[in-house]
Amino acid sequence: MTATADKHTAEKHTAEKHTPDKHTAKQQTAQPALSALQIKSVGQGIMRVDGPQKVTGTAPYAYEQPVKNPAYLFPLVSGIGLGHIKRIEDKAAREVEGVLEILTHRNAYKLQPSRSAELQLLQSPEVHYKGEIIGAVIAETPYAARYAASLVNILYNEAEQDTRFVFTHPELYTPKKINAGGPADRHMGDSKAALKTAAHVTDAKFSHTMQFHSAMEPHSAMAEWHPEKGVTLYDASQGAGTWKAMLAPLLGLEPEQLHIVSPFVGGGFGSKGVPHAPTVLALLAAQLVAPRPVKLMLTRQQHFANVGYRPEIHQHFQLGADAQGKLTAIVQNVTETTSKLLEFAEQTVSPTRMMYAAPGRETTTRLVPLDLPPATFMRAPGEFPGMFALEIAMDEMAEACGLDPIEFRLLNEPERDPENGKPFSVRLLRECLEQGAKQFGWNGRKAPGQHQEGEWLYGMGVASATYPHHKPQATCGVVYGKGQYQVQLAAADLGTGAWTILGQIAADALEVPLEQIDLQIGDSDLPAAGLAGGSMGTYSWSNAIYHAARAFRKEHGEHPKAGAQAEGKAINTEEAEAHSKHTFGAHFAEVKVSSVTGEVRATRMLGIYDAGRIINPRTARSQFLGGMTMGISAALHEEAYLDTRFGHVVNHDFAGYHIAAHADVPELSVEWLDVPDPQFGPLGAKGIGEVGIVGVPAAISNAIYNATGKRLRDLPFTPAKLLEH
- The set of catalytic residues is 690
| The dihedral formed by the CA atoms of 430, 431, 432 and 434, expressed in degrees to the nearest 10 | 80
| Residue 79 one-letter amino acid | G
Task: Say how far apart CA 392 and CA 203 lie, in whole Å.
Answer: 11
Structural contact between residues 308 and 376, judged by C-beta atoms closer than 8 angstroms: yes
Burial category of 406 from C-beta neighbours within 10 Å (exposed 0-12, middle 13-18, buried 19 and up):
buried
- Could you give the CA distance from residue 483 to residue 720 in angstroms, rounded to a whole number? 64
For 598, residues 6+ apart whose C-beta sits below 8 A from its C-beta are 718, 719, 720, 721, 722, 723
**Distance, CA of 423 to CA of 412 (rounded, Å):** 16
Contacts of residue 48, defined as CB under 8 A and 6 or more positions apart, other chains included, come to 54, 497, 499, 500, 618, 619
Residue 700 near residue 602 (C-beta atoms within 8 A): yes
3-state secondary structure 669-721: EEEECCCCCHHHCCCCECCCCCHHHHCHHHHHHHHHHHHHCCCCCEECCCHHH
DSSP 12: G
Residue 638 CA to residue 632 CA, distance in Å, equals 9
How many C-beta atoms lie closer than 10 Å to residue 100's C-beta? Answer: 21
Judge whether 721 and 712 are in contact, CB under 8 Å.
yes
* Secondary structure class of 27 (helix, strand, coil): helix
What is the dihedral angle through the alpha carbons of 722, 625, 583, 337, rounded to the nearest 10 degrees? Answer: 50
Q: CA triplet 586, 588, 594: central angle to 5 degrees?
A: 150
Q: Would you say 321 and 198 are in contact if contact means Cβ atoms under 8 Å apart?
A: yes
Q: Burial letters for 290-315: b for 16+ Cβ neighbours within 10 Å, e otherwise? A: bebbbbbbbeeebbbbbbbbbbbbbb
Q: SS3 for 423?
A: coil
Q: Is the peptide bond before 113 cis (omega within 30 degrees of 0)?
A: no
Output the CA angle 388-394-396, nearest 5 degrees: 105
316 closest CA partner among 330, 297, 299, 298: 330
Distance CA 260, CA 231 (A): 8
Are the C-beta atoms of 264 and 50 separated by less than 8 Å?
Answer: yes
Identify each DSSP E strand in 286-326 by its residue range: 294-297, 313-321
Phi-psi group of 613: left, alpha or beta (phi > 0 → left; psi -120 to 50 → alpha; rest → beta): beta
Q: Alpha carbon of 410 to those of 429, 463, 591: distances in Å?
A: 9, 12, 24
Give the span between the Cα atoms of 634 and 626, in whole angstroms: 12
Strands (E), 489-647: 517-520, 565-569, 582-594, 600-610, 642-643
Do the bridges between strand 220-226 and strand 294-297 make them parallel or antiparallel, or are there none, so unpaired?
Answer: antiparallel
Q: Using CB atoms within 10 Å of the CB of residue 246, give its burial: 0 to 12 exposed, 13 to 18 middle, 19+ buried.
A: middle
How far from chain centre, in Å, is Cα 323? 39
